[in-house]
Amino acid sequence: MAEPVIRRKTYALVYIAMLALTLATTLLAFLNMGPFNSVVALVIAVIQAALIAGVFMHALYESALVRIILTGSVLWFLILITLTMTDYLTRSH
Amino acid sequence: MAETIQILPGREALAHRHHFATPEQQRETVMAGMWIFLATEIMMFGGLFMAYAVYRLGHPRAFELGSADMNVVLGSINTALLITSSFTMALAAHAAQEGRLRGLAWLLIATIVIGAVFLGIKFSEYYAHFREHRAPGVWYESKPNEPDPGGVEMFFVLYYIMTGLHAIHMLIGIGIMAVLWLMTLAGRFSRVYHSPVVVSTLYWGFVDIVWMFLFALFYLPGLHQGR
């Protein structure tokens, strides 16, 4: 597969979006939303991670092999979280 | 515009090693290898994020109190700096792909400088915490009437381990980029051969991704309770 070359304009748009998301997540953290504070912070962090991986790290433009490795490692991490949480969240203290 | 592509005598082999059938196969192998390394990194940081999740579930209030000790101004400046350095590094990869070697050298320098400023700010934060006696195992004192002092201390334990491991990754990254800069000056890269630059961009992007989560988990939780 030929090397993907991403336009500099795309990089610049992602850069601006990343800064805007950082500002948004910081300002939103000042509101008291109860448990949704963490949800909002994590959702924005996941969007930022996806932007970096997808564009700055070219994952969106790479071969299926790379995308399988990336999906597999994220999936494995989610298994770690899910199985541990099924334990800790169902304990009676 | 694009400078002349120079491949020094004897270095042509770098574009396409003999054990690969095509340059494309070589490139895909490099990318797959780097992503598999990053998968192991996700596992390493993943275990720490898992530990954070378990302790935060057990001590939700203490983690908000610990987080209130963070300097969110410095933290968000550092976040913006790291995003900027990922941007300059992505542009460095772009310059390498187009064979613009002078641009590549300067973008590597920019990335190194921004990364170093990030680390300087990070260490000034560590120093401030240390002066407030918030360094578990070294010099730690709970605040008077602090509820769940053990939970707050655990917040700081995880804070130092996770941001510390991240800072070590940044130091390694700065070292890698210094080597890339020397290789660029030595004429080792061209429009044909530049995979070390692209692969290092992946590493630097991963370090940036980890920070996005560290920022969300350590700096933000304490903000909403009014400082």
Three-state SS annotation for A40-56 = HHHHHHHHHHHHHHHHH
Question: Which B-chain residues 102-161 have CB contacts (< 8 A) with chain A?
Answer: none
Residue whose C-alpha is closest to residue B217's, from B167, B168, B159, B164:
B159
Report pLDDT for B215. Answer: 98
What are the beta bridge partners of residue B77? none
Considering CB atoms only, which of B49, B54, B205 is closest to A56? B205
Instruction: Summarize pLDDT for A9-64 with one digit per residue, the tens.
Output: 999 999 999 999 999 999 999 999 988 999 999 999 999 999 999 999 999 999 99
Does the beta carbon of B101 lie under 8 angstroms from any beta carbon of chain A? no
Report pLDDT for B12. Answer: 46
Q: Distance between CA atoms of A26 and B218, rounded to whole angstroms?
A: 12
Report pLDDT for B15. Answer: 60
Q: Is the ipTM of this complex over 0.90?
A: yes
DSSP calls for chain B: -PPPP---TT-GGGGS-TTSSSHHHHHHHHHHHHHHHHHHHHHHHHHHHHHHHHHHHH-HHHHHHHHHTS-HHHHHHHHHHHHHHHHHHHHHHHHHHTT-HHHHHHHHHHHHHHHHHHHHHHHHHHHHHHHTTEETTTEE-PPTT-SSHHHHHHHHHHHHHHHHHHHHHHHHHHHHHHHHHHHHHTT---SS--HHHHHHHHHHHHHHHHHHHHIIIIISTTGGG--
Q: Distance between CA atoms of B202 and B89, rounded to whole angstroms?
A: 9
Report pLDDT for B17. Answer: 78
Considering CB atoms only, which of A63, A73, A84 is closest to B42? A73
**Tokens representing residue A82 in the block:** 């899910």
Residues of A in contact with B225 (CB under 8 A): 32
Report pLDDT for B3. Answer: 46
Question: Which B-chain residues 163-202 have CB contacts (< 8 A) with chain A?
Answer: 198, 201-202
Does the beta carbon of B61 lie under 8 angstroms from any beta carbon of chain A? no
Closest chain B residue to A36, measured at CA: B221
Q: How far is CA B34 from the centre of its chain?
A: 15
Chunked mean pLDDT (size 10), chain B, 227 residues = 48 66 88 96 97 96 95 97 98 96 98 98 97 93 92 97 98 98 96 93 98 98 78
User: Residues 6 or more apart from A19 whose CB is under 8 A from it?
Assistant: B80, B83
- In this complex, do A73 and B208 lie within 8 Å of one another by their Cβ atoms? no
Q: Work out the number of other CB atoms within 10 angstroms of the CB of residue B220.
A: 27
Considering CB atoms only, which of A19, A29, A89 is closest to B83? A19
Does the beta carbon of B79 lie under 8 angstroms from any beta carbon of chain A? yes
